[in-house]
Amino acid sequence: MKQHWLTLMLLLLLTLGSASPAMGWQGNSEQAVVSKAQAAARARTEVNGRVLRVEQTRNSYRVKVLKKSGRVVSVDVDKRSGQVKPSNRRNAER
């Protein structure tokens, strides 16, 4: 009986594990891994300043940060990887 339940649980786990990637391919393949709050925290750490605004775009978050020097810079935080990059807007230095 114990082996029966163990086998059943193993089959259930295998079924659920293989269903997740298939669901990703069908509809919501651009599901965000990084939240808005996490994007703000990563940008704050990278730029070393205070977050002023976080805007959501299709694949990233655009975060405006006030540096200690008084300069405002924009960075993009990738929704999937969390990588912080300078925004396409004019940013001479970060």
Q: Given a cut of 90, is residue 21 above it in pLDDT?
A: no
**pLDDT (0 to 100) of residue 87:** 83
pTM of this structure: 0.61
**pLDDT (0 to 100) of residue 55:** 96
Q: Which amino acid is at 47?
A: V
The C-alpha atoms of residue 79 and residue 61 are separated, in whole angstroms, by 7
Q: Given a cut of 50, is residue 88 above it in pLDDT?
A: yes
What value does the mean pLDDT take over residues 50-56?
96
Q: Residue 78, SS3?
A: strand
